[in-house]
C-alpha cells in the first residue's frame, strides 16, 4: 500500500461522469455501450470509430493520464483503454464488477462487486487485489475525493458508505433515499450528490461534516448526475421521463430538458453536457447556456456511462 | 444554507430492496390500430383497466385512479401477479409510464422493470408503442435458463405483443384473439 500516493493529486473519477476539471480547450467525451460492448469517443474530434471491448461494459472511470477503465459485470473483467484509444490490458476480477473509481495517482482502482456487496482495491496495472471490504448490498456509483476517501452508493441498503481509501475502513454510513445509484462530487469537493432511483430524489451530503444537507425531489428514476464546471448547476437525468433536470446550487429546479429515451449517464465539458440515452442508442448534446438539446449523436447499442477527460490531461499524456 | 436544515426528514424505512443485476434489457412492441388515437387512448389510458384488453390478464384491481402514485394489481392467467405503480400519466400526450413493485417470477421471469405506453397518430389510424427496460430473473453470473436474459426477453416481448394484439382487437371491435 502506498498511502501517500493514494492521497495525492486531485482526480475525481466517477462511475457515470467525471467532475469538471479546470482544463481549458476541448475535453474528450467517451461513452460506454453495454449491449454493443464498445466505448466510443463522441466529442467533435471523434478520431477512429468505437473501440470494441466485448461483453457489456457497465462502469466507466478515467484516470488522470486519460486511461479509461471499464467494468464487465457479466465477464468478471475490467478493461483498460489507453489515451491512444487502444485496449491496454484486460484485468480479471473475481466476482461481478460494476462501479469503478480510480485513485488520485492512477495506480489503484476501487471496484464494487454488485453481487457480493464488497468494495475491492486493486492494482491498476496487474489487477492484484490489495484489500476487500464488505459494504452494503448492491454497490452502485463510486467516487474518490482529494482526501483519499471513497464514497459508495449502496443501492440495496438505501445508504451511502464512506471509506478510507487506504485501509478500506468504514468511516461513516449515511441513510439516503431509496435505491441510491449515481454519485457526483461538486467541483471543490464540498458536496456529494446522490441520486435515489426509487424515491425519485436527490440527497445532498456535506462531505466535510459527513451529514445530510438536504433531500430534494428529482425527476423519475434519477440515474446520472453531473455538475457544471463552476458547480453552480447540477444536472440529473430522469431515466424514466426522458429528460434532464437542472438544479441550481440552492437546489431549486431551474429547468427540465427533454432528451432521448431512458437517459442514464451524464458528463459535462465546458458549456456542453452529454447524456447517454440507453434505449434510443444516442447521446444528447445539451447547451448549458440555453438549457436545450442542440444535437443527438448515434452511438453503438445500449449507452449508459459517459466520462469527460479534460484536455490538459490528454495533452500531458500525449507528450 | 439555512434552508437546507429545514428539509425533509430522511426516509429510513428498511425496505427489502429489489435485487437486480447490472445488465438491463430492452423490450419494444408496436401495433397499428384502425381507429382514432383518442379511441385507442380511451381504452388503453385507464391504468387499472388492463384486464379489459390484455388477453393474458385474468383481472386487474386499481387504486388511486390515473394519477402519479396510483397502483394496480394485475393477475395473470398463468397465476402470477404483477404489482405496478404509475409514475406518470399524461392524457394530452396519450402516454403513461409505470414500474414493477415486488418481482413475481411466476408472472414474468424478470426481477425489475419499467415501461411506457404511448399512442400516436398514424395516417388515419393510430400507432401504439409499448417499450420497457428490465433485468433478468436471476441476476447472478450463472442464471438458470428459465431466468436468463433470453428467457426474460422472450417473456416480456410475448406479454407486450399479446397485449397489443388484444388492444387492437378490442378497439377495432373484433373478438379478442
pLDDT, tens digit, 9 for 90 and up, residues A251-283? 999 999 999 999 999 999 999 999 999 999 999
Q: What pLDDT tens digit does each residue of chain A (319 aa) get?
A: 333 333 333 333 333 333 333 334 578 999 999 999 999 999 865 556 788 888 889 999 999 899 999 999 989 999 999 988 899 999 999 999 999 999 999 999 999 999 999 999 999 999 999 999 999 999 999 999 999 999 999 999 999 999 999 999 999 999 999 999 999 999 999 999 999 999 999 999 999 999 999 999 998 899 999 999 999 999 999 999 999 999 999 999 999 999 999 999 999 999 999 999 999 999 999 999 999 999 999 999 999 999 999 876 555 555 4
**Which residues on chain B are in Cβ contact (under 8 Å) with A239?**
114
Whether A2 maps to a domain, the answer reads no
- The answer to whether B93 contacts chain A (CB < 8 Å) is no
What's the pLDDT at A47? Answer: 57
- pLDDT tens-digit profile of B33-89? 999 999 999 999 999 999 999 999 999 999 999 998 999 999 999 999 999 999 999
- The answer to whether B85 contacts chain A (CB < 8 Å) is no
User: Is B22 within 8 Å of A73 when comparing Cβ atoms?
Assistant: yes
Cα dist. B86→A11, A135, A220, A240, B116 in Å? 40, 32, 11, 11, 10
What's the pLDDT at A48? Answer: 61
- Three cell numbers, residue A130: 490489495
- Domain containing A25 equals 10-318
What's the pLDDT at A311? Answer: 73
Identify the CATH number of the domain defined by range B19-171: 3.30.530.20
Whether A143 maps to a domain, the answer reads yes
- pLDDT tens-digit profile of B76-92? 999 999 999 999 999 99
- Three cell numbers, residue B139: 441476476
Q: What is the ipTM of this complex?
A: 0.76
CA atoms within 13 A on the CB side of A153: 35
CA–CA gap between residue B114 and residue A99 (Å, rounded): 22
Whether A297 maps to a domain, the answer reads yes
User: Is B21 within 8 Å of A73 when comparing Cβ atoms?
Assistant: yes
- Give A122 to chain B, closest Cα distance, Å: 21
Provide CB contacts within 8 A for A118, sequence distance 6+.
A95, A112, A132, A133, A134, A135, A139
Cα dist. A260→A109, A137, A213, A296, B94 in Å? 32, 30, 31, 8, 18
- pLDDT tens-digit profile of B98-131? 999 888 999 999 988 999 999 999 999 999 999 9
- Average pLDDT over all residues of chain A: 89
Torsion of CA A88, A93, A99, A102, to 10 degrees: -50
User: Is B23 within 8 Å of A58 when comparing Cβ atoms?
Assistant: yes
Provide CB contacts within 8 A for B95, sequence distance 6+.
B88, B89, B116, B117, B118, B119
pLDDT of B16 over the 70 cut: no
What's the pLDDT at A19? Answer: 35
- The answer to whether A262 contacts chain B (CB < 8 Å) is yes
**Which residues on chain B are in Cβ contact (under 8 Å) with A158?**
11, 14-15, 17
CA–CA gap between residue A279 and residue A216 (Å, rounded): 27
CA–CA gap between residue A310 and residue A20 (Å, rounded): 8
What's the pLDDT at A158? Answer: 97
What's the pLDDT at B4? Answer: 38
Whole-structure pTM value: 0.85
- Three cell numbers, residue A114: 454488485
What's the pLDDT at A250? Answer: 96
Average pLDDT over residues B18-24: 58
Are the C-beta atoms of residues A106 and A65 closer than 8 Å to each other? yes
**Nearest residue in chain A measured CA to CA from B85:** A198
Q: Which residue of B9, B24, B84 to mutate against A (max A Cβ within 10 Å)?
A: B24
What's A123's domain CATH number?
A: 2.130.10.10
> How many domains is chain A built from?
1
- The answer to whether B52 contacts chain A (CB < 8 Å) is no
Q: Which residue of A262, A263, A264, A302 to mutate against B (max B Cβ within 10 Å)?
A: A262
Whether A184 maps to a domain, the answer reads yes
CA–CA gap between residue A163 and residue A135 (Å, rounded): 9
Whether A156 maps to a domain, the answer reads yes
User: Is A34 within 8 Å of B23 when comparing Cβ atoms?
Assistant: yes
At residue A6, the 3 state secondary structure works out as helix
Axis crossing angle, helix B149-171 with helix B37-44, rounded to the nearest 10 = 120
User: Is B10 within 8 Å of A262 when comparing Cβ atoms?
Assistant: no
User: Is B87 within 8 Å of A240 when comparing Cβ atoms?
Assistant: yes
Out of B11, B19, B139, the one facing A178 most closely (by C-beta) is B11
Amino acid at each position: 500500500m502506498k498511502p501517500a500516493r493514494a492521497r495525492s493529486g486531485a482526480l475525481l473519477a466517477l462511475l457515470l461522469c467525471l467532475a469538471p476539471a479546470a482544463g481549458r480547450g476541448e475535453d474528450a467525451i467517451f461513452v460506454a455501450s453495454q449491449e454493443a460492448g464498445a466505448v466510443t469517443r463522441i466529442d467533435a474530434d471523434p478520431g477512429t470509430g468505437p473501440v470494441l471491448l466485448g461483453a457489456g461494459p457497465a462502469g466507466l472511470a478515467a484516470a488522470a493520464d486519460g486511461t479509461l477503465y471499464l467494468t464487465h459485470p457479466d465477464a468478471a473483467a475490467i478493461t483498460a483503454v489507453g489515451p491512444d484509444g487502444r485496449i491496454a490490458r484486460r484485468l480479471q476480477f473475481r466476482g461481478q464488477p460494476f462501479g469503478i473509481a480510480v485513485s488520485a495517482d492512477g495506480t489503484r482502482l476501487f471496484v464494487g462487486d454488485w453481487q457480493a456487496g464488497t468494495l475491492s482495491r486493486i492494482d491498476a496495472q496487474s489487477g492484484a487485489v490489495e484489500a476487500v471490504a464488505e459494504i452494503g448490498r448492491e454497490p452502485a456509483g463510486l467516487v474518490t475525493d482529494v482526501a483519499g476517501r471513497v464514497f459508495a452508493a449502496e443501492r440495496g441498503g438505501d445508504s451511502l458508505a464512506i471509506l478510507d481509501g487506504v485501509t478500506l475502513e468504514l468511516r461513516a454510513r449515511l441513510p439516503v433515499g431509496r435505491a441510491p445509484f449515481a454519485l457526483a462530487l461538486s467541483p471543490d469537493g464540498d458536496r456529494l450528490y446522490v441520486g435515489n432511483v426509487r424515491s425519485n430524489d436527490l440527497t445532498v451530503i456535506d462531505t466535510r461534516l459527513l451529514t445530510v444537507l438536504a433531500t430534494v425531489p428529482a425527476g423519475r428514476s434519477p440515474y446520472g448526475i453531473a455538475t457544471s464546471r463552476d458547480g453552480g448547476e447540477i444536472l440529473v437525468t430522469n431515466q424514466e421521463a426522458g429528460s434532464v433536470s437542472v438544479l441550481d446550487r440552492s437546489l431549486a429546479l431551474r429547468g427540465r430538458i427533454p432528451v432521448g429515451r431512458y437517459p442514464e449517464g451524464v458528463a459535462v465539458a465546458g458549456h456542453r453536457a452529454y447524456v447517454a440515452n440507453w434505449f434510443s442508442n444516442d447521446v444528447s448534446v445539451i447547451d448549458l447556456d440555453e438549457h436545450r438539446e442542440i444535437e443527438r449523436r448515434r452511438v453503438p447499442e445500449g449507452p449508459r456511462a459517459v466520462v469527460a477527460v479534460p484536455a490538459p490531461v490528454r495533452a500531458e499524456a500525449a507528450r | 444554507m439555512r434552508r437546507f436544515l429545514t428539509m425533509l426528514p430522511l426516509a429510513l424505512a428498511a425496505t427489502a430492496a429489489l435485487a437486480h443485476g447490472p445488465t438491463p434489457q430492452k423490450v419494444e412492441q408496436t401495433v397499428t390500430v384502425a381507429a382514432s388515437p383518442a379511441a385507442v387512448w380511451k381504452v388503453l389510458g385507464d391504468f387499472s383497466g388492463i384486464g379489459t384488453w390484455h388477453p393474458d390478464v385474468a383481472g386487474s384491481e386499481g387504486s388511486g385512479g390515473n394519477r402519479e402514485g396510483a397502483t394496480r394489481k394485475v393477475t395473470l392467467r398463468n397465476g402470477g401477479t404483477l404489482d405496478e405503480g404509475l409514475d406518470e400519466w399524461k392524457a394530452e400526450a396519450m402516454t403513461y409510464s409505470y414500474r414493477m413493485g415486488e418481482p413475481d417470477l411466476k408472472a414474468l421471469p424478470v426481477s425489475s422493470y419499467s415501461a411506457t405506453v404511448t399512442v400516436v397518430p398514424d395516417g388515419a389510424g393510430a400507432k401504439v408503442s409499448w417499450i420497457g427496460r428490465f433485468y433478468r430473473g436471476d441476476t447472478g453470473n450463472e442464471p438458470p435458463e428459465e431466468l436468463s436474459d433470453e428467457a426474460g426477453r422472450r417473456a416480456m416481448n410475448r406479454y407486450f405483443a399479446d397485449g397489443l394484439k388484444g388492444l387492437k382487437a378490442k378497439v377495432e371491435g373484433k373478438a379478442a384473439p
